[in-house]
Amino acid sequence: MATRKTLRPAQSQVADSYEHKTADSPMRPDVGTQAQFRKRKPPKTYSYDTSLDPALSWDEGSGSRGLGEWLLGRITDAARLPAPHRFPEPKRLTGADGKTLATVYGLEDAVEQLKAIGKPFLNWSGKAERLSFDVPTLPLFIHERLSTKAILQTLKGHKREGVDLQIDLFGDPRHSIVEQSLRAYEHRDRWVNRMILGDSLAVMNSLVEYEGMRGQVQMIYMDPPYGVKFGSNFQPFVRKRDVSHNDDEDMTREPEMVQAYRDTWELGLHSYLTYLRDRLLLARELLTPSGSVFVQISDENAHRVRDVLDEVFGEGSFISQITFQKTSGFETATIATLGDYLLWYARDPTRLKLRKLYEQREIRPGEGNAAWALFPDGAFRGVTAAERRGEATIPDGAKLYFPDNLISQGAASMPQPFVFQGKSYEPNSDSHWKANYPLGMQRLAEAGRLHVAANSLRYRRFADDFPLKERGNIWTDTLTESAP
């Protein structure tokens, strides 16, 4: 009679899911409670900042005429005040809804704001007429709850020491139907990572209005379409009736999908810029003052997208345009395009939070801090031309370095002669040793850091003193074999 074999989990490290130890988030309802959900909110209206054409025009629709006249009045008032022509209290212009439209502190400030009205800006069809837009305020219903830890443990084994191991794949706490429908968003749950399916505009508005995440997000990464052209090949037609056998090219697209595409990009590039501006405005609402937004884009519309980012975040919020390589290049009639761009803007550049990136520094004999070679016996020489070209190798045990300057300008309070290897060295009368004299110089000598030049001492900066270098805004290690 066969005996039953007890299955045991594999002897390996237990898989733990990532936990946000201090953060929490609102309790969200499950998708099955949509009909009972009670916390519905009206659509949210977002307004744009008003601006003018490059030629100063008084457009009643944009509100710029009123702003211009108000600024002229404040300039007149401030001019009557004694220098520096500043108001005792800031002057503010408010709209009908009580929102502050402009604030000035004195003559100089008012003049600069009046000048700014006439600055050129990127304009497109429908922009001047669309001073605000409504976004549906929708709750984020949970469709599925998954526990990464539970899934991985299930793969390792189903029983432990003969006892059933009951794994709940729906790993996070559940609430009753009443809690989910009537009291959703009133209680706090542990934060869990989420993947949200939906229109980014409506999702970001929900994060602001329902989730309380306004000003809480540290980083937003956007990968929008690179560009849309009206009547382009990306708009499939549904009029074709002849379908060849097994020919995917002749398959009829869903009319609803085609119509949705054409509605979204009805005006081509004009619709595309409106699409971007709306979403960047919501992204700005979500970002914390120290946060950043990154927009991935190609060279087709990078210049236009930068103009939109300048308008939404301000020109001073631009941090960098990062070029990252995607392909080794295709044959073209002119020059190959090797990569795309990341446009980096800060919510508030003065409070920007970042951690700089570093990469391994490549040491090339004869370049940078690798111009000289120091041997174990104390001898030293410059890197030869053959070693620089790679035709000869650096001898084993040699350390590459660069003899850096050891003297700073400015006379010392007293003479600073320093004896090294039986010879006295002293800075000129209008300069001094960079290292503390004499103790600092003695330490450099004991550490083998002093390089004897013709009539002076220099500091040995070894090539491996700092093996890393700061990464700039050109990234070439992003190229992969599968990249298009």
> Quick one: pLDDT at residue 154?
58
Of 250 and 298, the one with more pLDDT: 298
> Quick one: pLDDT at residue 98?
76
Omega cis (within 30) before 9: no
> Quick one: pLDDT at residue 227?
75
Token representation of residue 117: 């009205």
> Quick one: pLDDT at residue 3?
40
Arithmetic mean of pLDDT over the chain: 78
- What average pLDDT does the segment 350-374 reach? 90
- What average pLDDT does the segment 3-26 reach? 53
Question: Residue 136, SS3?
Answer: coil
Share of the chain above pLDDT 70, in %: 71
Helix (H) or strand (E) holding 84: none
Q: Output the DSSP codes for 359-382.
A: EEPPP-TTSTT-SEEE-TTS-EEE
pLDDT digit string (tens) for 243-252? Answer: 454 555 544 4
pLDDT band at residue 371 using 50, 70 and 90 as cut-offs: very high
Is 70 exceeded by the pLDDT of residue 150? no
Token representation of residue 434: 């960079």
Token representation of residue 116: 């700014």
Q: Domain spans of the chain?
A: 1-50+121-209, 52-120, 214-230+265-358+471-484, 372-465
Report the distance separating Cα 258 and Cα 240, nearest Å: 14
Q: Output the DSSP codes for 9-33.
A: --SSPPP-----SS-EEE---BGGG
- What average pLDDT does the segment 140-163 reach? 61
> Quick one: pLDDT at residue 254?
52
Is 70 exceeded by the pLDDT of residue 441? yes
Share of the chain above pLDDT 90, in %: 32
Is 50 exceeded by the pLDDT of residue 124? yes
Neighbours of 42 (CB within 10 A): 9
Instruction: Kindly provide the b/e burial profile for residues 304-319, where b requires at least 16 CB atoms within 10 angstroms of the residue's own CB.
Output: bbbbbbbbbbbeebbb
> Quick one: pLDDT at residue 256?
47
Question: Residue 119, SS3?
Answer: coil
Is 90 exceeded by the pLDDT of residue 112? no
Between 237-241, 284-288, 291-295, 322-326, the lowest mean confidence (pLDDT) is in 237-241
Helices (H), ranges, 62-167? 64-79, 107-117, 148-156
Is 50 exceeded by the pLDDT of residue 334? yes
- What average pLDDT does the segment 453-461 reach? 91
Token representation of residue 277: 């501006």
- What average pLDDT does the segment 122-143 reach? 77
Of 190 and 358, the one with more pLDDT: 358
> Quick one: pLDDT at residue 53?
37
Judge residue 460's burial from the number of C-beta atoms within 10 Å of its C-beta, 0-12 exposed, 13-18 middle, 19 or more buried. buried
> Quick one: pLDDT at residue 452?
93
Is 70 exceeded by the pLDDT of residue 448? yes
With respect to CATH, is domain 214-230+265-358+471-484 assigned 3.40.50.2300? no
Of 317 and 120, the one with more pLDDT: 317
pLDDT digit string (tens) for 45-78? Answer: 877 665 433 333 334 444 566 788 888 888 899 8
> Quick one: pLDDT at residue 172?
47
What's the residue count for the chain?
Answer: 484
Report the distance separating Cα 288 and Cα 234, nearest Å: 37
> Quick one: pLDDT at residue 480?
67
> Quick one: pLDDT at residue 58?
38
Cβ 392 vs Cβ 384: under 8 Å: yes
> Quick one: pLDDT at residue 373?
95
Cβ 17 vs Cβ 147: under 8 Å: yes
Q: Look up residue 449 and give its amino acid.
A: R
Token representation of residue 376: 């174990």
pLDDT digit string (tens) for 164-216? Answer: 444 444 444 456 666 666 667 776 777 777 888 888 899 999 999 888 889 99
> Quick one: pLDDT at residue 35?
66
Is 70 exceeded by the pLDDT of residue 230? no
For the stretch 46-51, contacts whose Cβ atoms lie closer than 8 Å and that sit 24 or more positions apart, written own/partner, are 46/132, 46/133, 46/135, 46/278, 46/281, 46/282, 46/285, 47/99, 47/131, 47/132, 48/130, 48/131, 48/132, 48/277, 48/281, 49/311, 50/101, 50/131, 51/117, 51/119, 51/121, 51/311
Cβ 244 vs Cβ 317: under 8 Å: no
